[in-house]
Structure 1
Amino acid sequence: MNECQYCYVLRPNRSLTWRQNLLFLGGLSGMTLIGIAPLVAMGFWPVLPFAGLELLVVGIGLYRVMCRCHECEVIYVAADSIRIERGRRGPRQSWVLTRAWAQVVLRACPRHWYPSQLLIRAHGRSVEIGRFLVEEERKKLARDLTRCLRGEL
């Protein structure tokens, strides 16, 4: 692949860090334990496993969301090719497309409540990018990539 001319780095919005999520889970755990303490004191100890299960499910959910929030997509545009890499700590998936045949397609969903898809297509292959972007960001990226592929930047 030739020297990279343009590079786009796409990351989802991370409103909380790992530490802030742990603090949230700790606060939620504390409030749950304070809330069920009177019940346990009155002899309703069977609520403890259910409270623990609830906190476990919330913890697993937070972990999965945080893992998804650390996904990253990098788009390298060179003179003759486009390389798209996706992964968390490093590229786990990679695609190389010919720049001369590549086109950017923003495909709207027929259902208005579902977001559009941003695709880069070449030679019958298509790669969806920016799945985690909001609609306005996806449209702006589509415009920028189209201009980049045309050589207008």
Structure 2
Amino acid sequence: MPIEWIKGQEKAPGQPGAFFHDKGAPAYQLHLWPHRSLPPRGFVAFIGITAGLFLLPLIALLGTPVLWGILPFLLLVLSALWMSLRRSYRDGQLIEVLSVWPDRIELVRHNPGGRRQEWSANPHWTSLHLSEGDGPVPKYLTLRGSGREVELGAFLSPEERAALHDDLQRALLRLSPFKGKPEH
């Protein structure tokens, strides 16, 4: 699963107060990224094997004018395959980082083009929602707080979003003494 939890130290903030936010290490940090089914070494091997398989039938055509008629189309298909896989890698370079402090929750989405989207709220007033069927995707996971609702892990599978909902709900309950005890 393309999810990584980083658990910090659970301690009270050094400075009391309603508007204080200690920008130290978060109590919990969650990194989410799209699943990469083809690693970079696999990409090179796939392109090499595909090129070899494309060239194999051309051995019989060596020395004939038909070779020059077929070769440009095979090279065009191979370059289109190369470009589409590279585009898929570039689009998959997004990452979502959810950081949770006792007095602040922050979601930062780093998009492939370098654009950042940020959202933050007070974790005590933040609610986590998992929609069964009324969202744009099955098991639509959102966070609501500070007058906004943000999507979390849209690129995950429905099962991964459901598991993430349970894990995140437990983490938020452990952090907040006002929301009750986590269920096990």
TM tier, shorter chain?
0.7 to 0.9
* Separation in structure 2 between the aligned mates of residue 7 and residue 104 of structure 1, nearest angstrom: 16
Residues in 2 aligned to 1:94 and 1:50: alpha-carbon distance in whole angstroms: 45
- For residues 103-139 of structure 1, the C-alpha deviation after alignment (integer angstroms, 9 at most, x for no partner) is 111123359xx53321111133121111222222211
Partner of 1:59: 82
1:10 to 29, 32, 44: 32
Which of 74, 96, 120 aligns to 2:143? It is 120
Change (3 A) 1:40 1:124: farther
Amino acid at match of 2:123: R
**Structure 1 gap segments, 5+ residues each:** none
Change (3 A) 1:149 1:142: same
Aligned residue type for 1:32: F
Please state whether the residue corresponding to 1:46 is helix, strand or coil: helix
Tell me the percent identity.
33
2:94 corresponds to 1:77? no
Q: 1:109 to 1:52 in 2, by over 3 A?
A: farther
Structure showing the higher helix proportion among its residues: 1
- The equivalent residue for 1:106 is 130
Q: Relative CO higher for 1 or 2, CA cutoff 8 Å, sep ≥ 6?
A: 1
Q: What is the root-mean-square deviation of aligned Cα atoms in Å?
A: 2.6
For the Cα contact (< 8 Å) 1:87–1:93, is it kept in 2? yes
Q: Which range moved further: 35-44 or 71-80?
A: 35-44
- How far apart are 1:147 and its partner, in Å? 2.5
Report the alpha carbon displacement of residue 88 of structure 1 after superposing the two structures with TM. Answer: 6.5
2:42 corresponds in structure 1 to 20
Residue 53 (structure 2) aligned to one of 24, 31, 48: 31
Q: Is structure 2 residue 151 aligned with structure 1 residue 138?
A: no
Verify the 8 A CA contact 1:40 1:47 in the aligned structure 2.
Answer: no
Secondary structure in structure 1 of the residue aligned to 2:34: coil
Q: After TM superposition, which residue ranges in structure 1, 4 or more long, deviate above 6 angstroms?
A: 88-91
Please identify the structure whose Cα radius of gyration is greater: 2
Q: What amino acid sits opposite 2:161 in the alignment?
A: R
Quick one: structure 1 residues 121 and 35, their matched pair in 2 at CA, closer, same or farther if it must change by over 3 Å? farther
